[in-house]
Amino acid sequence: MASVTLQHVSKQYTKDVNVINDIDLKIEDGEFIVFVGPSGCGKSTLLRMIAGLEEITEGEIYIDGVLANDLHASERGLAMVFQSYALYPHMTVERNLGFALKMAGMPKAEIAQRVTNAAEILQITHLLARKPKELSGGQRQRVAIGRAIVREPKVFLFDEPLSNLDASLRQNMRVELAKLHKELGTTMIYVTHDQVEAMTLADRIVLFNEGVVQQIGSPLDLYDNPANLFVAAFLGAPKMNLLDARLESAHAQIAELRLANGAIVSAAVNASRVSTGDIVKLGIRPEYLQLATDDDAGAVSAKVILIEHLGDQSLAYITIADAAEPLCMKLSGRCCNLKYGDTIGIIFPLEHCLLFDQAGVAFKRV
Amino acid sequence: MHKRKSKRKSHALALNVLTWMVVVLTLLPILWMVLSSLRNYSDIAAGDQLSSGLPLRWENYRDMWVNVDFFTYFKNSLIVCSVTTVLATMSATCAAYALARFRFRGSNGVSVGITVTQVIPGMLFFLPLYMLYRSMGDNWGIPMLDTYHGLIFLYVALFTPASIWIMRGFFISIPRELEDAAVMDGCSRFGAFVRIVLPISAPGIIATATFIFLLAWDELFFAWVLTSSSEVQTIPVGIRLFVSQFQHRYDLMMAAATMSTLPVLIAFFACQRFFIKGLSAGAVKG
């Protein structure tokens, strides 16, 4: 196990192309940390810099307290699982697993022992004599993970390892990876563009956009308290509902907002850093919007435009007069009562409302 | 439905007929050559070489060996072509890998330069080349004319550029992650090239080597210009000289031609699996 520390790490390909911008990050011993973000945000590049496959333009990377900038990739005590598995096609599974150990000069007997142990953990003992082209996608993935395990690294690096698998296999492998982390307890750095993988696997998430860290925190922390609009919109499916609103009043504990249709909504945030009358963005997750009852005061009038029944839940798409985009409401079970054209009242619970300023930065929740 | 099916059938039939026509047109000269090599020269002159009633004359091959000194030409071709193949394949492999994997100053210029050399007909520079070789021998004391190394040096320069393009396409089709994995496993970049890339590229390398061998084996013009003694002259030159000397002995000429084709045929059929795979490897992913 080892910690990984990044200090002011940047990567520049040319004078005008900054791929990674001044990253500071400390990854603790045994932590499962996930780098997540849209394609091209620099998460894989950062992983490759940690691995030693890309040069660092500025900054330092410490692995287990040792400066790793000038260390060869194989000297950093890391093992990497690639998106395309990167199994050597001309070698059997057994030779693939043992290749790194052979390069390290390990005795044959010890190589054989480690290969056998890794194969047993991953249940691929019966595949050792096969070549990669004779394996299914899931089997290749296990071999790729096995190749990392045999090295007994200080840190595992995963570069979108599940992206080539179908949905059901991906779910199974996610569980396997989580179990593996529990069993081995090794530090793991995992790169993905899939927020479900990030939310389910991570101890902490580092969310990237355009080479800049948007937020670092536990999955639920990022989900409940996004630092900005990008984080709010990236995590959660369906996406967070976002409406333009005008700040009517702002106190330390509560802010009152007027929606485009004139309705007043409250949010439990500290909006004192902006002025009354400023335009802000109100955010609320689909599962927090509530259907108003007859007794509810302050309900906002909305019209149903679409109902999607997913079996265990339903998604109702609604419009509020003068709002730019329809909102999505997540309702448990099957709401057979609602249909296209119905006018309903919806409640914005103030404890679940988020507020963002014009720059997209979130106000602190109270 | 019935109309569509019969239209498809007639299309398939037309394609089959066309394919067989091409096959026959391609194989007929070879058949002609082989049968002519087993006939009496008067039968060939009369145009009867394809007649089934005539006896096969295997003595033509013995006579050819005696009259043509075929063994010497064969040995010369084998030496020149084998060394050319090894050197050109090695240099093409290294150059192609560099062009496929590395971005360096001048890489575009190198790529364009390689393409341009293929556009210029080789015959345009035979005179400057001859003069250069002669000058090297006369002024620098490095004999290049009428030598193995003179021919080999030229053939390597002639056949490497096209080989670079073949190999480059092959290397591009190999995922970069394989080399990254090898580096993570403890290889240097060169070690990853040797231990991982080269074994995977074996079909491409064999295809390239076969391609170079075929080109070098058939090359006549420069071999004719740059060599003058039978100690160095290759088979195409030998056959050309034989034609000049024994104009009417088509039987021996065809026997020599058949013998000179054999190594090429053997090489091609032994390596055709790799040849086809290697030439088309870059086509899909490159």
Q: How many helices (H) and strands (E) does chain A have?
A: 8, 22
Contacts of B243 (CB under 8 A, 6+ apart): B253
**Per-residue pLDDT, B273:** 74
At B282, is the pLDDT very low, low, confident or very high (cuts 50, 70, 90)?
very low
Residue B285: per-residue pLDDT: 35
pLDDT of residue A71: 93
CA–CA dist A326, A334 (Å, integer): 20
Cα torsion B258, B83, B101, A145: sign: positive
Q: Per residue in B154-212, pLDDT tens? A: 999 999 999 998 899 889 989 999 999 999 999 999 999 999 999 999 988 998 998 89
pLDDT of the residue at B278:
57
What SS3 state is found at B57?
coil
Q: pTM of the predicted model, to two decimals?
A: 0.81
Predicted local confidence at residue B283, as pLDDT: 41
pLDDT band at A3 (very low <50, low <70, confident <90, very high): very high
What would the mean pLDDT of B16-44 be, rounded to a whole number? 88
Q: Which residue out of A80, A156, A160 would a mutagenesis test of the B interface target, given it has the greatest number of B Cβ atoms within 10 Å?
A: A80
The least confident of A83-97, A204-218, B251-265 is B251-265
* Å between B177 CA and nearest CA of chain A: 6
Does A82 contact B185 at a Cβ distance shorter than 8 Å? no
Q: Which of B218, B177, B203, B180 is nearest to B273 (CA)?
A: B203
Interchain pair B180, A82: CB under 8 A: yes
What is the per-residue pLDDT across A226-264, written as a single tens digit (0 to 9) for each? 999 999 999 998 999 999 999 998 877 899 999 988 889
pLDDT value of position A335:
59
Mean pLDDT of B231-259: 84
Dihedral, A111, A117, A123, A128 alpha carbons, nearest 10: 20
pLDDT value for B30: 86
Q: Is pLDDT at B281 greater than 70 in this prediction?
A: no
* CA closest to B185 among chain A residues: A100
Q: Tell whether the model's pLDDT for residue A324 goes beyond 90.
A: no
Residue B152 has pLDDT above 80, yes or no: yes
Torsion from C-alpha of A315, A319, A325, A326, nearest 10 degrees = 10
CB contact under 8 A, B178 and A73: no
Task: Grade residue B286 by pLDDT with cuts at 50, 70 and 90.
Answer: very low
- For chain A, positions 91-130, list CB contacts with chain B under 8 A: 99-100, 103-104
Closest CA to A132 of A94, A178, A103, A158: A94
Inter-chain CB pairs, A–B, below 8 Å: 51
Model confidence at A296: pLDDT above 60? yes
pLDDT band with cut points at 50, 70 and 90 for residue B66: confident
DSSP A228: B
**Predicted local distance difference test score (pLDDT) of residue B276:** 65
| Inter-chain CB proximity A86 and B181 less than 8 Å | yes
Give me B21's structure tokens. 């026509």
Residues of B in contact with A79 (CB under 8 A): 184
CA distance A83 to A162: 7
Which pLDDT value is given to residue B277?
A: 64
A112/chain B closest Cα distance in angstroms:
17
Say which residue, B118 or A34, is predicted with more confidence: A34
Residues A283 and A253: their CA atoms lie apart, in Å, by 17
A83 interfaces chain B, CB cutoff of 8 Å: yes
Mean pLDDT in residue range B240-247: 77
As a whole number of angstroms, the distance between CA A97 and CA A83 comes to: 17
Pairing of strands A241-250, A290-291: unpaired
Top-confidence range, B44-53, B115-124, B165-174: B165-174
Instruction: Read off the DSSP letter of residue A57.
Output: S
Predicted pLDDT at B275: 63
Tell me what the mean pLDDT of segment A62-79 comes to. Answer: 93
Residue of A nearest to B202 (CA): A90
pLDDT cut 90: percent of chain A above it: 70
The Cα B192–Cα B182 span in angstroms is: 6
Does the ipTM surpass 0.95? Answer: no
Compute the average pLDDT of residues A122-145: 92
- Check residue B284 and give its pLDDT: 39
> CA nearest A184: which of A146, A219, A137?
A146
Q: Min CA distance, B107 vs chain A (Å)?
A: 17
Dihedral, B130, B133, B138, B142 alpha carbons, nearest 10: -160
Q: What pLDDT score does A288 carry?
A: 94
Of B266, B230, B245, B241, residue with least CA distance to B76: B230
Comparison of pLDDT for B284 and B246, the residue scoring more:
B246
Point out the least confidently predicted range of A35-44, A227-236, B268-277. Answer: B268-277
- pLDDT per position as a tens digit, A327-357: 999 988 765 678 888 898 999 999 999 999 9
Instruction: Show residues of chain A in contact with B175, CB under 8 Å.
Output: 84, 86
Pairwise CB contact (< 8 Å): A88 & B187: no
Rounded to the nearest angstrom, the minimum Cα separation between A234 and chain B is 28
A158 phi-psi bin (left φ>0, alpha ψ -120 to 50, beta other): beta
pLDDT at B149: 95
Q: Are A366 and A270 in contact (CB under 8 A)?
A: yes
B-side interface with A, Cβ within 8 Å? Answer: 175, 177-178, 180-188, 196, 199-200
- Which of A52, A84, A100 has its CB closest to that of B185? A100
Contact A19, A44 (CB under 8 A): no
Chain A partners within 8 Å of B196 (Cβ): 88
Q: How far apart are the C-alpha atoms of B176 and A84, rounded to whole Å?
A: 10
